Structure 1
Amino acid sequence: MPMSLRLPGDVEARLKKLADLTGRSKTYYATEAICEHIEDLEDYYLAEQRLADIRAGRTETVPLEDVLREYGLAD
């Protein structure tokens, strides 16, 4: 899927230098970076939403001690 990005000048320069040094394309490195970090970003935004739900009283929490005891991990 084609897409366009506008990068800060310094980042674009670094990306170009890396691509030139390695013989790979800027697109290759942009794709690698996205694939490497998208799961972390998804986790971050899910955690952010869960925290908002907890603060708004839409979700209840369970104490860690209860979870450990439930799964037989308590000391």
Structure 2
Amino acid sequence: MATKVSTVPTAVRLPAELIERYNNLAKATGRSRTYYVTQALQESIAELEYEYGLLKKVEDYRGGRLETVTIDELEDHLGLAD
């Protein structure tokens, strides 16, 4: 038995070529365009969150808002000091 997922309608402007490709894929497979757009969004969100999270950390570092340690402090903390 499939689990019902709550959805919310969303309007997005996409290039006509991309819509045509999704339409062709949907027609060829018998699935809906919405199915494939949703799949693409679900598969890419984790990567986007990771990448933009890293960029945020870089901005925080450059802005002096990120706590840092020296390599010597890190080695000592990890028990790797000579």
Q: TM-score, normalised by structure 1?
A: 0.78
Q: CA RMSD in A?
A: 2.3
Indicate how the Cα distance of structure 1 residues 54 and 38 shifts in structure 2: closer, same or farther if over 3 A, else same.
Answer: same
Unaligned runs of 5+ in 1: none
Could you tell me which residue of structure 2 aligns to residue 23 of structure 1?
A: 30
**Which structure's residues are more often helix, by fraction?**
1
**Per-residue deviation, 1:63:** 6.2
In the superposition, relative to structure 1, how do residues 27 and 68 fare at CA in structure 2: closer, same or farther (>3 Å)? farther
Which stretch shows the higher mean deviation, 58-67 or 45-54?
Answer: 58-67
Tell me the alpha carbon deviations over residues 3-56 of structure 1, each in whole angstroms, 9 at most, x when there is no partner: 122210110111100011001000000110111011111111111100001111
Aligned length: 73
Q: What's the TM-score, normalizing by structure 2?
A: 0.72
Equivalent residue number for residue 16 of structure 2: 9
**Unmatched 5+ stretches in structure 2:** 1-7
Kindly report structure 1 stretches of 4+ aligned residues shifted beyond 6 Å: 63-66
